[in-house]
Amino acid sequence: MGIKYLLDTNILSELSKSKPNAHVVSHINQNGDNCSTASVVIHEINYGINRLAEGKLKNNLRLFLKQLETYKFQIYPYDTEAACYHALERAKLVKKGLTPAFVDGQIAAIASTNNLTLVTRNTSDFINYSNLSLEDWFIPSI
């Protein structure tokens, strides 16, 4: 079947919790082989870890990141095609008076240009991007 989903930071970070959302876990269990993430998501996770003081939480998150690496999610880059999509969409949104977060635009671009469904809890952050399929795995499946 191939890769179908691009997981946003909030989906991956949910999995690091001691009691992750059951719906997210269920979706990961059902679709794990069809999931990927983006290089900028890996940046966001690493940035968050590096901002923390040394301690148990930081060590647990480092371990979680290592576990993600061993799972071997495909990691899509922010490439030229994504950069062009992002620039066009960003210009359209700014003309409408919207100021989207830059990294959200990068994530949307990577998902859209690779024909992937972006899985995020924050669908409202991405709803204004064109040619972008969204799912929220925190919500129970119907």
Give the whole-angstrom CA distance, residue 56 versus residue 38: 26
Domains of the chain (ranges, CATH numbers)? 5-135 (3.40.50.1010)
Q: Which residues are bridge partners to 133 per DSSP?
A: 117
Mean pLDDT of 123-129: 96
Please state the pTM of the whole predicted model: 0.91
pLDDT in tens, 74-109: 899 999 999 999 999 999 999 999 999 999 999 999
Give the whole-angstrom CA distance, residue 132 versus residue 117: 7
Give the whole-angstrom CA distance, residue 73 versus residue 12: 11
pLDDT in tens, 17-70: 889 999 999 999 999 889 999 999 999 999 999 999 998 888 888 888 887 777
